[in-house]
Amino acid sequence: MDKIIMTKLDEEIYHEVLENGLDVYLYKKEGFAKKGAYFVTKYGSATNDFKPIGEDKIVSFPKGIAHFLEHKLFESEDNERVFEKFKTNGASVNAYTNHFITNYFFKTIDNFEECLNELLNFVQSPYFTDENVEKEKGIINQEINMTDDNIQRYIFEKMFDLALNENPNKYKTIGDKENVSKITKEDLYKCYNTFYHPSNMVLVMYGDVDVLKTFDLIRKNQASKKFENPEEIEVKEFNEEDEVCTKYLEVKRNVSTPRVSICYKFKEKKRTGVDRFKRNLFYNVLLDMKFGGTSSFEKDLVKDCVIKTGLSLNYSYFDDVALIIFEADALDKEKFIELIDKKLREDNFDESIFELDRKALLTSMVKCFENPSDFANVILNSVAKHGKVINNAYDIYENYKFEEFKESFKWLNFDNKSVLYVEGKEE
């Protein structure tokens, strides 16, 4: 076991890579009652084309299968309900799948060790049958219907579809009914055996727990199970074009006020580690300066009757692509598009505003240590996205210079964008 010291923050993370390859982290925080753990596989909905373990060619799997697999791991061979086991221990358990990872997690105040054992055991005990797979398809289809009725989620996912060409982040995490209908028990085992090997997984724990006792529990749990030797995972690579897939689309949905969403697409070089972390910092500072608390832009849009209420802003960065998505109830569609575009292209940056936003982001980063579960999330996302814990994050924020920011801005191309116009259905 070693320690990762967070520079200038007087915080430390206990870390060990087990013999089977499992990457384990513990953020001990004394005096906090809540404890928990995240058990993560670096496998999400964007990974559908890969070479299954033991096979010699890349196979295309149904879209949505990572999310389907997440559902099925809560079902056990002995018919004992995983949720009930955690509830008996005074804990809650859940999971989610996004484009990049699948995360199984629990939180509790008591019985941390029992819950940790249970988390490791149910995730590492797949049980798929033809019958339970077919039964799950109906449940997933109901969930698809519900997400289709959620207008915010529909617009967000639709913007990925409009902006991306080949990149698999284009597709919805949950999949669609046609793809879900194709999923088989054999498919699930192939995906599980490829991506749920401990060497492709991360365990992050937090709270006021006994460090030595906890790591000993994990070692014993993993030593009691048999895993094949890890193989290198081969995933199909996609060459994403600079241009968006679809520049403009109009659709009719159940909305009282027309909605407009604009997605700007920026082609990036593939970055890892600190380089990727710093690129994220650039985009965060950029969006804070233009649309954050120091800007009156959103209030002006409402005051001038360009939008009805607030402005929604989302930012995603993956592979070699960054997407910035705006959405609002638009009273004047063309003016909204024009003003967003104008605001993004402005390069008359104020260094004093840059410093305010940089310091605000630094403060926000430091504050996440106040909540152990928040910082555990930072750890798992850092390892999943950057390949390691960025332990000098404070220095990176503190030393980020205005000139470096302005130089990065010069390379952005604002000509590649998709627009979605959502009208209400006629009665």
- Residues noted as catalytic: 70
3-state secondary structure 41-73: ECCCCCCCEECCCCCCCCEECCCCHHHHHHHHC
As a whole number of Å, the end-to-end CA separation of the chain is 65
Task: Please list, residue by residue across 85-110, b when 16 or more beta carbons sit within 10 angstroms of its beta carbon and e when fewer do.
Answer: bbeebebebebebebbbbbbbbbbee
Classify strands 59-60 and 259-267 as parallel, antiparallel or unpaired: unpaired
Compute CA distances 125 → 121, 136, 339, whole Å.
6, 18, 53
Q: How many CA atoms lie within 13 A of 359 on its CB side?
A: 7
Handedness of CA 229, 230, 232, 235 (dihedral sign): positive
Q: How far apart are CA 258 and CA 247, in angstroms?
A: 18
For 16-129, where are the alpha helices, taking DSSP H only?
65-72, 82-88, 112-123
Look at the block and give the residue holding tokens 């009719």.
252
Burial zone of 80 (CB within 10 Å; 0-12 exposed, 13-18 middle, 19+ buried): exposed
Q: Helices H, strands E: what count in the chain?
A: 15, 14
Q: How far apart are CA 328 and CA 304, in angstroms?
A: 14
> Which residues in 312-372 belong to E strands, given as ranges?
312-318, 321-329
Q: How far apart are CA 101 and CA 88, in angstroms?
A: 28
- The first and second tokens of residue 275, run together, are 């380089």
In degrees rounded to 5, what are phi and psi of residue 318?
-150, 150
In the sheet with 23-28, reading across from the earlier edge strand, the strands are 2-6, 11-17, 23-28, 201-207, 35-41, 102-108, 92-97
Q: How far apart are CA 4 and CA 15, in angstroms?
A: 7
